[in-house]
């Protein structure tokens, strides 16, 4: 039996190898390319339960090289910088805030999985999972204070909720960018700036990353922070059911959400196109889709996939998340972040 193994390789090292290979063999690579290797490029939050990747390798005969350039934004940046000598064959983790840029920059080639329920940009990206970024609330804190919980984005600017909210910086945090986009979707390009002025005047706290916001400043998880409102995900309350309890101490405000969708695609210039297509199909297989909530804390994109019981009970999706077209995000993202920084950070 052939022995297969999964290798994680530094992105810079792989890029160097790719350049060296092109210098030695020419850009075409001739017939010497190792198509038994499949180079999988993902953001740094990609993980699957033990055995799933090994099963894919055993079934297909490929050896998977796993390359992680960084978070979702860094991932797309690296794909653009290395498009003439691509980092890998297939990519997972491009989300709807960067999808249009990835396609416009020519880092992908079209492929539509037969199991795809949603593709974008001329079938260059196949949806794999999604998550709703929403404000979370500490039910216990509000009960103890005798204060009604906010429900909407507008409520968060009410003086009754002054100094209660912590969010993350859209320049450094994927959820932070998603929440900025939620406000653009809710209030439009003519109204979101004033909304953030009002939110700032109401004492919103901004931190660099989700972990600090949720585990340090938020009162509702480990209970140590002073703020009972935090930017997180609609799935977060599923992890906040106390031992011996039946309900989480937190909840998600479903009128405040922006939906992140994560995609997979075959990279332009891939050496192993067939393997890349098989990996996209693999991510839509029932076993991987069922594993996504527990491994990556996102919702599977396929209908009918059974969720963990705690998700089914305590992790509802937003019925009407705020939306911004991917092309509008690509055209305006950097300017929106710059304007947000001027308003909120100064």
Mean per-residue pLDDT pooled into runs of 10, the chain (346 residues): 34 36 33 73 91 96 92 86 95 91 93 88 91 97 97 98 96 90 96 98 94 94 90 94 88 97 96 97 97 93 92 93 91 95 94
How far are the Cα atoms of 173, 288, 297, 337 from residue 235, in angstroms, in the given order? 18, 18, 7, 26
In the chain, how long is the greatest CA-to-CA distance?
A: 72
Cβ burial, residue 50 (10 Å; 0-12/13-18/19+): exposed
Q: What is the pLDDT of residue 24?
A: 32
Cβ burial, residue 278 (10 Å; 0-12/13-18/19+): middle
Residue 218 lies in a domain: yes
CATH for 305: 3.40.190.10
Residues 93 and 171 in one domain: no
Residues 122 and 135 in one domain: no
Residues 74 and 146 in one domain: no
Q: What is the pLDDT of residue 139?
A: 96
Residue 1 lies in a domain: no
Write the DSSP assignment of 139-204 as a string of letters: HHHHHHHT-PPP-STGGGGSGGGTT-EEEE-TTT-HHHHHHHHHHHHHH-TTTHHHHHHHHHHTT-
Residues 126 and 198 in one domain: no
Residues 203 and 229 in one domain: yes
pTM metric for this prediction: 0.81
Residues 205 and 303 in one domain: no
What lies within 8 Å, CB to CB, of 213 at 6+ separation is 166, 167, 168, 207, 230, 231, 232
Residues 297 and 326 in one domain: no
Per the CB < 8 A criterion, the answer to whether 304 and 226 are in contact is: no
Residues 108 and 247 in one domain: no
Residues 207 and 337 in one domain: yes
Give me the domain span that covers residue 106: 7-130+260-309
The total domain count for the chain is 2
How far are the Cα atoms of 267, 310, 341 from residue 92, in angstroms, in the given order? 10, 26, 29
Residues 125 and 29 in one domain: yes
Residue the block writes with tokens 């199991």: 115
φ and ψ at residue 98, rounded to 5 degrees: -130, 0
Residues 135 and 170 in one domain: yes
- For residue 103, what are its two tokens? 């396609």
């Amino acid at each position: 039996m052939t022995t297969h193994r999964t290798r994680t390789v530094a992105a810079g090292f792989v890029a160097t190898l790719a350049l060296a290979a092109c210098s030695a063999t020419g850009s075409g690579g001739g017939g010497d390319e190792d198509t038994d290797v499949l180079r999988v490029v993902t953001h740094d939050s990609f993980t699957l339960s033990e055995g799933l990747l090994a099963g894919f390798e055993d079934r297909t005969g490929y050896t998977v090289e796993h390359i992680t350039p960084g978070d979702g934004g860094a991932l797309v940046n690296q794909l653009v910088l290395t498009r003439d000598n691509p980092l890998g064959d297939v990519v997972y983790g491009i989300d709807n805030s960067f999808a249009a840029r990835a396609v416009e920059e020519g880092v992908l080639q079209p492929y539509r999985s037969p199991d795809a329920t949603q593709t974008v940009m001329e079938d260059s990206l196949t949806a794999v999972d999604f998550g709703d970024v929403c404000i979370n609330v500490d039910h216990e804190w509000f009960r103890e204070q005798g204060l009604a919980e906010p429900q909407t984005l507008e409520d968060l600017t009410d003086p009754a909720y002054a100094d209660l909210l912590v969010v993350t910086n859209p320049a450094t945090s994927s959820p932070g960018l998603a929440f900025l986009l939620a406000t653009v979707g809710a209030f439009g390009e003519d109204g979101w700036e004033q909304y953030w002025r009002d939110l700032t005047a109401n004492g919103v706290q901004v931190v660099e990353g989700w972990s600090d916001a949720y585990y340090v400043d938020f009162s509702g998880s480990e209970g140590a922070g002073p703020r009972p409102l935090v930017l997180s995900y609609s799935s977060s309350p599923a992890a906040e059911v106390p031992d011996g309890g039946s309900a989480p101490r937190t909840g998600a405000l479903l009128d405040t959400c922006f939906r992140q969708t994560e995609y997979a695609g075959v990279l332009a210039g891939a050496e192993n196109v067939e393997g890349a297509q098989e990996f996209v199909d693999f991510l839509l297989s029932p076993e991987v889709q069922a594993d996504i909530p527990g491994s990556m804390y996102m919702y599977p994109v396929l209908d009918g996939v059974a969720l963990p019981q705690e998700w089914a009970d305590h992790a509802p999706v937003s019925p009407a998340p705020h939306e911004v077209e991917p092309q509008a995000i690509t055209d305006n993202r950097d300017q929106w972040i710059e304007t947000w920084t001027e308003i909120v950070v100064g």
